[in-house]
């Protein structure tokens, strides 16, 4: 028999086994599909986190991030955050004075009490935002009427605008909208005394921190949280002039302000990911375990199949059917299972990514945390073929080592 005809015959036998061994075939296909699904979902979440981070940093329109160390939680203190940059307004003015800098401005994160009524207060994230016109995207209302006039060159005795921009989650939580009045403060007592008018609705910082937020002028947030004495900020954002070498600017600012850590957007994103090394390692371990589990499942089912039919294989071999042809049939059968499992797993992954994104957005407010690309889908199919191929090779080798006479005795 010619080689092409012989190969077509072997493929036909392998496909016949798919129909004949239905239960085993379905179990094996599901095993491969689960391995592909787990691997693709974990990879898509990792890719989505990186893509989302890069997108958020790009949307910030900033070039450098100046910090004094990690932002730490301080339970029991007013504001709840230990912001590390001191004299942030003065630092911003000095950097803005450079010819290669358009603007530098402090950004502050603090937890605050908020409520429509003084008797019903909720804890949300307060954001002291720089230059709202360039950073905040509105879904309703307007931006602040002026910027940080309360700071008044460090005296903090300028007029307070008492304007706030909230996100939709805060609006729903407090049952308020544009032009409504809310109570805000770093403590319950302060919140009962301080009133602000909601002038806009924006998802910008809620998407950034993944929690309900209220945006205030930086000095006004410092005022209601009692941090005006040290003028603390979470970090200072720097936007360079067009054409400026950002790396050189980073180096020069690092020499001028050695007490602070200065990073580009990519470096800042990398530092955030590095602080999540345990989480990333756990995800990577789960991905490896998913692949190993798929390989072991396919290998176990294929070896049990060969062991169960060893007498039949031995009889066929004794009648003149070559052992090479038998091993080829087993291997082709396994590859067919791998392709079917890969297609099923990839299809489930598309649905799984949508479910993960929906659940994540509902729980944290972050959108598109999992990102599925054609490259990942293709990788899932390749993984399925590799997983089933390893199982097929193991089963073929086991079959090749069987002695027909021993099996027929």
> What mean pLDDT comes out for the span 26-34?
81
Q: Per the domain annotation, does 259 fall within a domain?
A: no
| Whether residue 29 sits in one domain with residue 141 | no
Same domain, 219 and 313: no
Last residue of a domain, one of 243, 269, 288: 243
pLDDT in tens, 167-224: 988 999 999 999 999 999 988 999 999 999 999 998 878 767 778 899 999 999 999 9
On whether both 97 and 231 belong to a single domain, the answer is yes
Same domain, yes or no: 130 and 204: yes
Q: Return d(Cα 340, Cα 268) in angstroms, integer.
A: 42
- Residue where a domain terminates, one of 189, 223, 243: 243
Give me the domain span that covers residue 288: 3-55+277-408
Question: Taking a C-beta distance cutoff of 8 angstroms, is the pair 108, 219 a contact?
Answer: no
Q: How far apart are the first and last CA of the chain?
A: 31
CA distance 59 to 135: 8
Model confidence at 280: pLDDT above 70: no
Q: How far is 289 from 294, CA to CA, in rounded Å? A: 8
- The string of pLDDT tens digits covering residues 375-384 is 888 888 888 8
In this structure, the answer to whether residues 232 and 308 fall within a common structural domain is no
Residue 179, in any domain of the structure:
yes
Residues 101 and 201 occupy one common structural domain: yes
The number of domains in the chain is 2
In a domain, 270, yes or no: no
- Smallest CA-to-CA distance from 149 within 199, 216, 54 is with 216
pLDDT in tens, 64-116: 888 876 555 444 444 455 677 888 888 988 998 888 888 888 888 888 999 99
260 within a domain of the structure (yes/no): no
One domain for residues 51 and 68: no
Q: Which of 256, 239, 276, 204 lies closest to 65 in space, CA to CA? A: 239
Residue 380 and residue 359 share a domain:
yes
Higher pLDDT, 350 or 330: 350
Spatial distance between the Cα atoms of 159 and 150, rounded to a whole number of angstroms: 5
Question: pLDDT band at residue 407, thresholds of 50, 70 and 90?
Answer: very low
- Output the pTM of the full model: 0.61
For tokens 């791998």, what's the residue? 338
| 193-198 long-range Cβ contacts below 8 angstroms, 24+ apart | 194/162, 194/224, 195/162, 196/162, 196/163, 196/164, 197/162, 197/163, 197/164, 198/141, 198/164, 198/165, 198/166, 198/171
pLDDT for residue 375: 83
Of 243, 264, 286, which closes a domain? 243
Residue 11 and residue 49 share a domain: yes
Whether 349 and 307 share a structural domain:
yes
Instruction: State the average pLDDT over residues 271-299.
Output: 65
Could you tell me if residue 262 is inside a domain? Answer: no
Q: Residue 35 domain-assigned?
A: yes
Give a yes or no: residue 119 inside a domain.
yes
CA distance 337 to 29: 6
Q: What pLDDT, on a 0 to 100 scale, did the predictor assign at position 219? A: 92
Per the CB < 8 A criterion, the answer to whether 71 and 81 are in contact is yes
**Whether residues 167 and 296 fall in one domain:** no
- Where is mean pLDDT largest: 99-103, 158-162, 270-274? 158-162
Contacts of 228 (CB under 8 A, 6+ apart): 156, 219, 222
| Domain identity same for 69 and 49 | no
Cβ-count burial of 324 within 10 angstroms (0-12 exposed, 13-18 middle, 19+ buried)?
Answer: exposed
3-state secondary structure the chain: CCHHHHHHHHHHHHHHHHHHCHHHHHHHHHHHHHHHHHHHHHHHHHHHHHHHHHHHHHHCCCCEEEECCCCEECCCCCCCEECCECCHHHHHHHHHCCCCEEEEEEEEEEEEEEEEECCEEEEEEEEECCCHHHHCCCCEECCCCCCCHHHHHHCCCCCCCCEEEECHHHHHHHCCCCCCEEEEECCHHHHHHCEEEEEEECCHHHHHHCCCEEEECHHHHHHHHCCCCCCCECEEEEEECCCCCHHHHHHHHHHHCCCCEEEEHHHHHHHHHHCCHHHHHHHHHHHHHHHHHHHHHHHHHHHHHHHHCHHHHHHHHHCCCCHHHHHHHHHHHHHHHHHHHHHHHHHHHHHHHHHHHHHHHHHHCCCCCCCCCHHHHHHHHHHHHHHHHHHHHHHHHHHHHCCHHHHHC
Residue 178 within a domain: yes
- Rounded Cα distance between 180 and 169, Å, is 15
User: So what's the pLDDT on residue 77?
Assistant: 44
* Cα(91)–Cα(86) distance, integer angstroms: 8
Measured CA to CA, the distance from residue 166 to residue 179 in angstroms comes to 11
């Amino acid at each position: 028999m010619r080689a092409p005809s012989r190969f077509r015959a072997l493929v036909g036998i392998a496909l016949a086994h798919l129909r004949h061994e239905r239960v085993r075939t379905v179990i094996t296909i599901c095993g491969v599909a689960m391995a592909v699904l787990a691997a693709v979902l974990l990879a898509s979440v990792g890719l989505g986190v990186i893509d989302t981070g890069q997108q958020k940093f790009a949307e910030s329109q900033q070039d450098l991030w100046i910090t004094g160390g990690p932002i730490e939680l301080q339970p029991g203190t007013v504001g709840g955050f230990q912001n590390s940059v001191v004299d942030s307004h003065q630092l911003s003015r000095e950097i803005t004075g450079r010819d290669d800098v358009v603007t530098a401005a402090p950004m502050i994160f603090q937890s605050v009490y908020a409520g429509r009524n003084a008797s019903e207060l909720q804890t949300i994230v307060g954001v002291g935002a720089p230059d709202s016109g360039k950073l905040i995207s509105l879904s309703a209302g307007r931006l602040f009427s002026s910027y940080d006039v309360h700071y008044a060159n460090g005296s903090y005795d300028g007029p307070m605008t008492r304007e706030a921009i909230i996100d939709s989650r805060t609006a729903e939580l407090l049952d308020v909208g544009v032009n409504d009045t809310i109570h805000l403060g770093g403590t319950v007592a302060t919140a009962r005394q301080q009133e602000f008018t909601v002038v806009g609705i924006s998802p910008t910082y809620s998407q950034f921190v993944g929690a309900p937020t209220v945006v205030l002028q930086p000095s006004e947030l410092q005022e209601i949280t009692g941090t005006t004495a040290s003028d603390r900020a979470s970090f200072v954002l720097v936007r360079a002039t067009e054409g400026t070498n950002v790396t050189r600017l980073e180096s020069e600012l690092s020499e001028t302000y050695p007490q602070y850590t200065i990073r580009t957007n990519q470096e800042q994103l990398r530092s955030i990911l590095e602080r999540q090394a345990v989480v990333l390692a756990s995800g990577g371990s789960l991905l490896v375990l998913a692949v190993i589990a798929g390989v072991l499942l396919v290998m176990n089912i294929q070896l049990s199949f060969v062991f169960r039919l060893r007498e039949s294989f031995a009889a066929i071999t004794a009648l003149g059917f070559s052992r090479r042809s038998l091993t080829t049939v087993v291997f082709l059968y396994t590859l067919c299972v791998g392709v079917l499992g890969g297609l099923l797993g990839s299809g489930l992954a598309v649905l799984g990514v949508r479910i993960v994104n929906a659940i994540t957005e509902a729980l944290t407010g972050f959108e598109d945390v999992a990102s599925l690309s054609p490259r990942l889908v293709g990788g899932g199919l390749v993984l399925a073929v590799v997983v089933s191929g390893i199982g097929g090779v193991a089963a073929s080798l086991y079959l090749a080592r069987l002695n027909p006479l021993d099996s027929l005795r």
